[in-house]
Structure 1
Amino acid sequence: MMKRRQVLAGASAAAVVAAGGYALLGGPDYEAVAAATWQPADPAAPEIGRLVHYATLAANSHNTQPWIFEAGSGPIRILPDTTRRTPVADPDDHHLFATLGCAAENLMLAAGAEGKASALSFGADGAIAVDLAPGGAEDPLFAAITARQCSRSLYDGSTVSAADLSLLERAAQVDGCRVLLVTEPAEVAAILDLILAANAVQIADPAFVAELGDWLRFSAAAAVDTGDGLFSACSGNPTMPQWIGQRMFPRVFTPEAENEKTAAQVRSSAGLAIFVSDRDDAEHWVAAGRSYQRFALQATALDLKTAFLNQPLEVPEYRPQLAGLLGVTDRRPDLLVRFGRGPAMPRSLRRPVADVMRMV
């Protein structure tokens, strides 16, 4: 799920020339749309709509939002939207199910804020069922949902205290998954070597580059029109007309440039967090997503930022090497994240609740 690439570095001048002076800041008011997206749910909306609103603010791979929320007289069901798969980066739908876990965790936190207890189960059809009952209480993590974001910027290099690391570990505790925190420079450097090697393999694959390009939004207009995907400004990259960005992206997205940026980002971070579930199946991928979402919300509450670096998990030959470095050779690492203190970035968008919910 969940990697976010910085793209088109150094391309802004060429884009201006190619666009003939196109006003890069023109188009819709992106910030206003983003602000509305991340507002707390309208208290006048139906309860199910409020819960789904918070669920859609969860982290998700490529911002594809591959979820459908089904509600009726029984439990709320979260189903995979397979039309939004990323089969090159995620051929077994691992990230897709981790994404659904992120959404489920947000939904359950929102239910607690509504005074509802929730219980999660995983069905044979790949759907997550969330049963609600009276008697829940608000978890402090709920307040961070509308502030959380994946921030693909340089961080400030400062360390995180042992007390805060303990809070992050405790927040991420979910049955079936655990988080491993890596803060020692030598261990971070060893994992960075795997990240860079896997990154180079992916960028050398035309199918991977084409799939990523399909989810990139180079202009505010394109981002607002779709309500999904990776908007250039969210990674601190220049905006430009969508057609120009689509043509230029394959030319400037190189292993050398991306690895230089990725290395700087990792070295500016306080550490890495790796989420490792008990078993390699869809139910436990959901657990990994839930664990990450809770980690990210606790990080937000501590004024920390997070961003995914899943490259060595997505290139199969590097996955066991990462597991070996972590001492978990009998398990599959699920998600790899950097964390630290850094600036807020423009927020990503979401599709309307009505587009992702169906009543039965």
Structure 2
Amino acid sequence: MTTNQPVPDGSDVDPQATQGQQRRISRRAVLKAAGIGGGAFVIAGAAGVGIRGGINGVWNQGQGEPYELWHSRQDTDGLVRLVAAGTLAANPHNIQPWSFVVDRDSIDLYADPGRIMPVNDSDGRERIAGYGCAIHNIILAARSEGRDAEVTPWPDGDPDHIARIEIAAGAPATEREQKLAQAISTRHSNRGPYAARAVGQDMLDSLVDDAPDGAELVWITEPAALSELADLYVEATQAIVDDEEVSIEAFSWFRNDRAEIDRHRDGLTLDCQGLDGFTLFMAKLLPAQSRRSGDAFWVKAARTTHTATARAYGIVRVEDTDDPRARLAGGRLLQHAHLAATAAGIGLQHMNQVTERIARDAALGNPDRFSARWAHATGIPAGQSLLAFRVGYPERAANPSPRRDLSDVARGR
């Protein structure tokens, strides 16, 4: 459920360069040139290009061990195969905040206390919803194999013991269950532009067919509401990047080059920012970005791409966003809709800037600048708006995000 999108560098010349040192063209310069028609060309020595290309993963994007689980989850055995499905679920900023204990006929889901974002996700709603996303993937993966999964949230009162999932024999999977389970390995957040083609109401409604109970999905499609939400999103995005503590924490989860991806196998990457192929290629050849320039690019993308090409917004509504069980249910609904959208060829991008900012302002004791306007645009009180996203038919395919190895997240009892 990522929102923040650090991308290429903001200075056209290396700020550390002194007289006589080589001046460097930055990633932002390339992006700017590409954005006005691609009229600029970068000429570099073959050795320099090769080195930077290797460091930044130009020639192996989406490949190798950090991405292997997207392709091989079905190759694992027993209940570990279901855990593999769970680890491919949506989660905030791709922090992957979970660990699993696997028994003969049960899976216990635990929080990983070292994987939190107390500033960006100040009330913890997105992290707990991410656990709901993982649970839903596990349930669907089990159903695709003709097994049932019974979930007991917080089975022993330990706040870090999120759920026990007991697996038993069940009825054969339906065609719908099979299709959703197949989408687990191809579901990615699509942050690129969406085509002008509208997503019909019948199609939107179909994304929640057979969805789990406990939360409701409300669609925002009226042009006036879309415009009002666009303004809110851009303003909230700017407020987020102006909050230095928030910006610093978010940037700490951005993986600048292939070495960082291989080391951490989590977080946000250039590959997942929805850039066109040429811009992505050139950006990865050039020096890494600064936090401030990444923030500026995100604000611009929110204005010119994300809100400008959103064909509808989905709001996950619950009775009380402070209720942990409602958060789990909302996460399950979100994951269900994302898998159904993937199966239908629809792009989906999580966009939680407004609700994040409402929670952050509340934590700081600041005036509430967004709740009333959010309710006016969506018809949903902020206290019932758990998560939000945009949808549309994507102009380009989304790339996978890195995932940790199963040995790092799962163990036997």
TM-score (norm 1): 0.90
Identify which of 272, 279, 299 aligns with 1:259: 299
Per the alignment, residue 99 of structure 2 pairs with 68
Count of paired positions: 353
- Residue 338 of structure 2: aligned partner: 296
Residue matched to 1:134: 169
The residue aligned with 1:279 is 320
Q: How far apart, in 2, do the equivalents of 1:12 and 1:182 lie?
A: 40
What amino acid sits opposite 2:386 in the alignment? D
Q: Give the SS at the match of 1:306.
A: strand
Which structure 2 residue ranges, 5 or more long, are not aligned? Answer: 15-22, 28-43, 359-367
Unaligned runs of 5+ in 1: none
Task: Please point out which of 236, 245, 249 is paired with 2:290.
Answer: 249
Matched ranges for 1:24-103 at <5 A: 24-27=52-55, 29-33=60-64, 36-43=68-75, 45-73=76-104, 75-103=106-134
Task: Point out the more displaced range, 271-280 or 319-328.
Answer: 319-328
Alpha-carbon distance between aligned partners in 1 of 2:267 and 2:382, rounded to the nearest angstrom: 34
Q: Which residue is equivalent to 1:147?
A: 186
Deviation for aligned residue 1:250: 2.5
CA RMSD of aligned residues (A): 2.4
Letter in 2 for 1:228: D
Q: Distance in 1 between matches of 2:134 and 2:230?
A: 28
Does the 8 Å contact 2:67/2:402 carry over to 1? no
Identity %: 26
Q: 2-side partners of 1:75 and 1:323: how far apart?
A: 41
Q: Which letter maps to 1:239? A: K
* SS of aligned partner of 1:132: strand
Are 1:334 and 2:386 counterparts? yes
Secondary structure at the counterpart of residue 136 of structure 2:
helix
Out of 127-136 and 176-185, give the one that drifted further.
127-136
Counterpart code for 1:310: N
Asked if 1:125 is matched to 2:195, the reply is no
1:313 maps to which of 355, 359, 364? 355
Which aligned pairs between 1:224-235 and structure 2 lie closer than 5 A?
224-235=262-273
**Contact 1:52–1:107, Cα closer than 8 Å, also in 2:** yes
Structure 1 range deviating more: 306-315 or 8-17: 8-17
Aligned partner letter, 2:3: K
Q: Is the 8 A contact 1:58 1:106 kept in 2?
A: yes
- Cα distance in structure 1, aligned partners of 2:115 and 2:340: 28
Counterpart amino acid of 2:389?
V
Separation in 2 of the partners of 1:320 and 1:170? 31
Give the distance between the partners of 1:134 and 1:174, measured in 2 at CA: 20
Greater CA drift, 3-12 or 278-287: 3-12
Q: Which one has a bigger Cα radius of gyration?
A: 2
Shift in Å, 1:354: 1.0
Distance 1:30 1:194, change over 3 A: same
Secondary structure, aligned partner of 1:335? strand
